[in-house]
Amino acid sequence: MSISFSPLNPPRRLLFGPGPTMVEPRVYQAMTKPVVSHLEPYFFEVVEDCRKLLRAAFGTANEFTLAMSGTGSAGMQTAVANFVEPGSKYAVLANGFFCDRLTEMGRRQGANVARLEKPWGESFDEDEAAEFIRKERPNVVAFVQAETSTGVYQSSKTICAAAHEVGALVIADCVTSLGAMPVDLDANGIDIAYSCTQKGLSCPPGLAPVSVSPRAMDWLRGRKTTPADWYLDLKLLADYYEGAHRYHHTAPISLFYAMREGLVCIAEEGIEKRQARHKRSHEAFVAGAGAMGLEMLVKPGRRLWNLNTPRVPDGIEDLKVRKRLIEWGDVEILGGFGPLAGKVFRVGIMGPLATEENVLLLLEGLEKALREEGFSPKGNGVEAAKAYYAG
């Protein structure tokens, strides 16, 4: 067997992509704490801390808030496998990659899928979506609050109200919003939300926070069919994480340590303050990008605060720009994919990177890289961002 036993030596990048993003040293250190048994009372204390702190980040009083032992995609599957029954009607608001994945997962559960479609990069007018829901009268409505493929934020108060009017439950993908911008489950009326740890929570990937409203838990406890998915069965997980602590699986202890530490960091800063910090970084970046002459894919007011999608200027190859950024300062941004391949950059500014210093660094590098690829900036992006911060 030819195998190199060289020590682990991953590149040290400034992760300005859509995630995974930067992890604080104290979060890494949390993972060096000794593993305990998955039935150890101390572990359940850690879990309870995480549940309380997750409720604050999700903006909910939902008792049933916890983390699945898988990545964000496992969170999506948890929502669909538990709440979309075979033969049920399932409505998806489709305007990006993750809406298509929600669709695919629903089909695999044997649901009848109805889709309201928008081009990637647009958001839904809530009244239009509400009308669609009243017409279709589905059992479940799914939408993406924070579309990682496009940078769109979807508001949802009217959508959720329409769903509840026809007796439907609402699933929202909050993978990119949690920890970085308002998720507001209760204020919006979202019944089932899932997220990940490696974006707005600034932790390593591997857990999927999930929150379920009492209304949805009531429905689930009355569900007659058994979900095909045993691993992500929320009723079994409720027995493990709540009350009885009945063995289900061996939770990834070290990742729970990391998530608790990351959530404590967020609580120490204050969730509103953290969200405001992301909003400022976003506005500073948009000011800088705009000064350079870059257009944003998404309309103002519909944009994610922590994931920006400036269009790639005509005649410029996004991959070449991204390579130059890596060479210049180990700055990693990502490109678009699907219908947006080559058309947008995906620039995540979150967690430890959402500061003036880092936004200016990023704009400096981006301007340099674009220039070297033949793009002539209209104005000075760094100065525009500085002016934003000063203003």
Q: State which of positions 103-122 bind its own copies (CB under 8 A).
A: 104-105, 108-110
Write out the binding residues for its own copies, residues 230-289 only, by CB under 8 A.
230-232, 247-255, 257-258, 260-261, 264, 267-268
Nearest approach in angstroms of CB 179 to its own copies is: 15
Interface positions, 308-367, toward its own copies (CB under 8 A): 332, 334, 337
Residue 150 or 158: the one with the smaller Cβ distance to its own copies is 150
Is 228 a binding residue for its own copies by CB under 8 A? The answer is: yes
Which H helix or E strand runs over 30? Answer: helix 25-30
Residues 304 and 296 sit within 8 Å (Cβ to Cβ): no
* Residue 296 engages its own copies in binding (rule: CB under 8 A): no
Query: Which among 32-40, 138-146, 177-185, 292-300 is the span making contact with its own copies, rule CB under 8 A?
Result: 32-40
Take residue 153 and report the two structure tokens written for it.
């934020």
Q: Which is nearer to its own copies, 4 or 376 (CB)?
A: 4
* C-alpha to C-alpha distance for 348 and 391, rounded to whole angstroms: 23
User: Which is nearest to 64 in space by CA: 210, 276, 264, 229?
Assistant: 210
Question: Quick check: 1 binds its own copies (CB under 8 A)?
Answer: yes
Under the binding rule (CB under 8 A), the answer on residue 376 touching its own copies is no
The residue among 27, 11, 31 whose CA lies nearest residue 201 is: 27
Minimum distance from CB of 57 to its own copies (Å)? 11
How far, rounded to the nearest angstrom, does the alpha carbon of residue 246 sit from its chain's CA centroid? 30
Helix (H) or strand (E) holding 112: strand 112-117
The correct pick among 54, 57, 58, 72 for binding its own copies (CB under 8 A) is 72
Q: Minimal distance in Å, beta carbon 71 to its own copies? A: 5
Residue corresponding to tokens 């970046």: 285
Burial of 10 (C-beta count, 10 Å sphere; 0-12/13-18/19+): exposed
Closer residue to its own copies, CB minimum distance, 310 or 348: 348
Cα–Cα distance for residue pair 160/129, rounded to 1 Å: 10
Pairing of strands 14-15, 331-332: parallel
Assess 61 for contact with its own copies (CB under 8 A). no
Q: In what order do the strands lie in the sheet with 112-117?
A: 64-68, 208-212, 192-194, 169-173, 140-144, 89-94, 112-117
Tell whether residue 204 is a contact of its own copies (CB under 8 A).
Answer: yes
Q: Which stretch binds its own copies (CB under 8 A): 38-46, 128-136, 310-318, 383-391?
A: 38-46
Site string for its own copies, 9-28 (x = CB under 8 A): xxxxx-x-x-xx--x----x
Instruction: Please report where in the chains the tokens 């608001």 appear, as a residue.
Output: 93
Smaller CB separation from its own copies, 34 or 301? 34
Q: Is 81 an interacting residue with respect to its own copies (CB under 8 A)?
A: yes
